[in-house]
A and B are shown apart, each in its own frame.
Chain A
Amino acid sequence: MLFNSIEFVFFFILVTSLYFILPHKYRWFLLLVASCYFYMAFVPVYILILFFTIVIDYFAGIWIEEAQGKKKKQFLVISLVANIGVLAVFKYYNFLNDNLTFLLHGAGWENPIPYLSILLPIGLSFHTFQAMSYTIEVYRGHQKAERHFGIYSLYVMFYPQLVAGPIERPQNLLFQFRTEHKFEYERVVSGLRLMLWGFFKKLVIADRLAIYVNAAYGNPDEHTGLTLAVATMFFAFQIYCDFSGYSDIAIGAARVMGYDLMKNFNRPYLSASISEFWSRWHISLSTWFKDYLYISMGGNRVPIPRWYFNLFFTFLISGLWHGANWTYIIWGALNGFYLVFALIRTRYIDKQLEGKVPLPVWIKKTGNILVTFILICFSWIFFRAESVQDAFMIVKKIFTLNGPLFTDFTQMFYGLVGLAILMAREIKHEYFKNVSPLLEHRSPVVRYATYMVLIALILLIGVFDGSQFIYFQF
């Protein structure tokens, strides 16, 4: 079920109402049934994949806790292999087979391995990563194994974050299912407010900009460098508003029922460096990779070349996590390269320049924000392009910038109205913390007027074509 659908509005009202009416002991069951229904609204049969990983990880958790020595590790490996195996089959099998075919063709051979005719289950990478974080944390002794099968299932399937995160840790979420949540006015209103902002970002900004972006990226050979440059910048905001909009709706929906999910975005385009960007963008995934991959490889407590490798490799895998396509791998590699280059620059170049370029701090900061934004936009080209060939063609065209701008005046106008509101809010939250934000304003008149304006803008310039969230495909 899509958050941006009327079905979801009814679903949310019904589930939340029942949740507060039911006694605490039955709520986990309500949420589990609701989550199953929510997931089965996409492709019902794929719930069996979820069930498979839930059963494996549930027992693996208990066995890891009870086992000693090597056995402990063996159970963890079983759990990880099962989860990664599911990902490998459903997400990467055809991609690997494609590449094998290419290599074998090069040598003049036919590939005898058949392709699988399967759809990628919605949100597979999200719930497998959440499931893996559970068994890893039990193995590390940070989390007790959950003995209640229903509650463990709910940890994996909790509908607000089931298909696109935030990817939760068991320490943050599991105990919340056992805590009784009473109806709290402030919490409910704050959750609904966050959902409203999420809907605004998705319907007014992301889906509007998508119209221009899809037109340009759908036929890059027919568009000029200038158009593709503008489309890339729009895509940067499209993907941000699409994904952070989803996260806001998810966090808001959970908050209404009393659950705290982790923050997933923190005004990433106001970052003054790439490393800062990654501490503000898709935080639940970045920290997942940091906690379970980067640090496991030794993090920065290793010789410098190995440190650089760890960083680069983590981003390469992060690219692969996003999709089974070379475009995502290049995107990950590019971000890894940015980070390694930044480390080298800090170590060898910045020290020598220290104090030699006397610029006011605000100019330096603005410059850094702009450079970071441009670098991130450049990497988005690979993320959004249909193929590596398309991506390189787009890069080439952008660098020549010849030809006129394709002007879809209506779409650009509505998109820019939404973007202006977004930027005003982000800048206020970043730099004017003492000014009361309109959505959370002390004066109820201002607050309510803001709700009304946002709803009116959603109705008047939102896009109601029921388009999916970009991150569902991952």
Chain B
Amino acid sequence: MLTQLVANPGFKKFLVRLVIFLVVLFAIDFVVGNVLRKLYFQQKSGPDYETIYAMEKSTEDLMVFGSSRARNHYHPKAFEEALGMSFYNAGRNGNFILYSNAVAQAVLKRHQPKIVILDIVGHEFEYYAPNYEKLSVLLPFYKTHPEIRSTVNLRGEFESIKLWFQMYPFNSTLLSIGLGNTEFYNKKDPIIKGYSPINRELNQEPVVDTINLNYEIDTVQVRSYETFIQNCKKAGVQLYVVCSPYFNKFPVRDKSIVLAEEIAHKYDVPFWDHSQDPAFSGNPKNFYDVRHLNEPASLRFSYMLAEKIKSADGKLATRP
């Protein structure tokens, strides 16, 4: 049957055209992929630019890692003034510990900051599939940063096969690459050393947060958190794990925060839980929305934290 198939003129024609098709496809993919790579890494502004800066260019003494709450809560002015250190905020919207751990690995490979602050959120270790999908922001770095590959591969078992295509790492980035090569993002929302100021006061009273408290803990994300701590310790970096303020009240302490604190203590890492800090929480004047401090409050929070770092000198501490 195989001989019949090979002798079939239609099959021969198909094979020849398939080979030509694949050669042309991979050639086009190679060219377009590399053009996009060049354009991606020469961006001047925007979220991708900030990740590139954090991973490949940052040389600051103090770096902050985390999600949008890190990005909006840690003001460079306060840390630079109070601690006399250079500062960069590597937080990224919608990305959590898996992303922070990968970026920190890239940073620590070439530069050791004196201090690292990791901002932990409530539900940080909850299993949530989009947390893995969002790791796509690291795909452009897969080729040049072997240290992040294990994290990117968490997206799915066939990720390395998809990466045979040079265009694939730039999936969903066309628009941001285009805008990032202009001053669009700088004009839209001025970013100060990775920190993103947001200005508005909330117009509501705090409530008891009824969000599901009995969620499933994702051991992969817990391991990633532990790796983050171990890598900082190995590099001799003074690490502080912080949970910054929330507007609403928690009926009980969130189990991710409890777990994060236990693990931090296991490694003698200071863990400061300000999630329910009465100096900020519950006051609508301090918040942009229920999860994010506005700029004036973030500045006060950052000064308070900087002073605490100054006086703590690496000692273990917990809630205020």
A102 at the A/B interface (Cβ < 8 Å)?
Answer: no
A1 vs chain B, min Cβ distance (A): 13
Q: Which residues of B lie under 8 Å from residue A20 when comparing CB positions?
A: 1, 5, 11
Residues of chain A in range 406-430 having any CB-CB distance to chain B below 8 Å: 409-410, 413-414
B28 vs chain A, min Cβ distance (A): 6
Report yes or no: A455 in contact with B25, Cβ–Cβ below 8 A: yes
Query: Do most interface residues of chain A lie in helix, strand or loop, or is the interface mixed?
Result: helix
Query: Do most interface residues of chain B lie in helix, strand or loop, or is the interface mixed?
Result: helix
A462 at the A/B interface (Cβ < 8 Å)?
Answer: yes
B85 at the A/B interface (Cβ < 8 Å)?
Answer: no
Q: How far is the CA of A22 from the CA of B176 in the complex (A)?
A: 49
B211 at the A/B interface (Cβ < 8 Å)?
Answer: no
Residues of chain A in range 458-474 having any CB-CB distance to chain B below 8 Å: 459-466
Q: Which residues of B lie under 8 Å from residue A98 when comparing CB positions?
A: none
B212 at the A/B interface (Cβ < 8 Å)?
Answer: no
Report yes or no: B1 in contact with A22, Cβ–Cβ below 8 A: yes
Report yes or no: A464 in contact with B14, Cβ–Cβ below 8 A: no
B94 vs chain A, min Cβ distance (A): 12
Q: How far is the CA of A185 from the CA of B175 in the complex (A)?
A: 39
A449 vs chain B, min Cβ distance (A): 10
Q: How far is the CA of A464 from the CA of B139 in the complex (A)?
A: 13
Given contacts A6-B161, A6-B162, A464-B171, contact A183 B11 (CB under 8 A): yes
Residues of chain A in range 87-110 having any CB-CB distance to chain B below 8 Å: none
Question: What is the chain B residue whose CB lies nearest that of A20?
Answer: B5
Report yes or no: B172 in contact with A185, Cβ–Cβ below 8 A: no
Report yes or no: A456 in contact with B24, Cβ–Cβ below 8 A: no
Report yes or no: B28 in contact with A188, Cβ–Cβ below 8 A: no
Residues of chain B in range 121-161 having any CB-CB distance to chain A below 8 Å: 129-130, 133, 136, 156, 158, 161
Report yes or no: A414 in contact with B175, Cβ–Cβ below 8 A: yes
Question: What is the chain B residue whose CB lies nearest that of A451?
Answer: B21
Report yes or no: A413 in contact with B28, Cβ–Cβ below 8 A: no
Report yes or no: A448 in contact with B24, Cβ–Cβ below 8 A: yes
Q: Which residues of A lie under 8 Å from residue B28 when comparing CB positions?
A: 452, 456
Report yes or no: A183 in contact with B162, Cβ–Cβ below 8 A: no
Report yes or no: A452 in contact with B25, Cβ–Cβ below 8 A: yes
Given contacts A182-B8, A456-B28, A460-B167, contact A23 B1 (CB under 8 A): yes
Q: How far is the CA of A409 from the CA of B167 in the complex (A)?
A: 22
Q: How far is the CA of A461 from the CA of B32 in the complex (A)?
A: 14
Given contacts A414-B175, A452-B24, A456-B28, contact A185 B5 (CB under 8 A): no
Q: Which residues of B lie under 8 Å from residue A413 when comparing CB positions?
A: 175
B139 vs chain A, min Cβ distance (A): 10
A184 at the A/B interface (Cβ < 8 Å)?
Answer: yes
* A–B complex contacts, Cβ < 8 Å, 27 sampled: A5-B158, A6-B161, A20-B11, A21-B2, A21-B5, A185-B13, A185-B14, A189-B14, A409-B175, A410-B172, A448-B24, A452-B25, A452-B28, A459-B29, A459-B165, A459-B168, A460-B167, A460-B171, A460-B172, A460-B174, A461-B172, A463-B172, A464-B136, A464-B162, A464-B171, A465-B129, A465-B130
Q: Could you list which residues of chain B lie within 8 angstroms of chain A, going by C-beta atoms?
A: 1-2, 5, 8, 10-11, 13-14, 21, 24-25, 28-29, 32, 129-130, 133, 136, 156, 158, 161-162, 165, 167-168, 170-172, 174-176
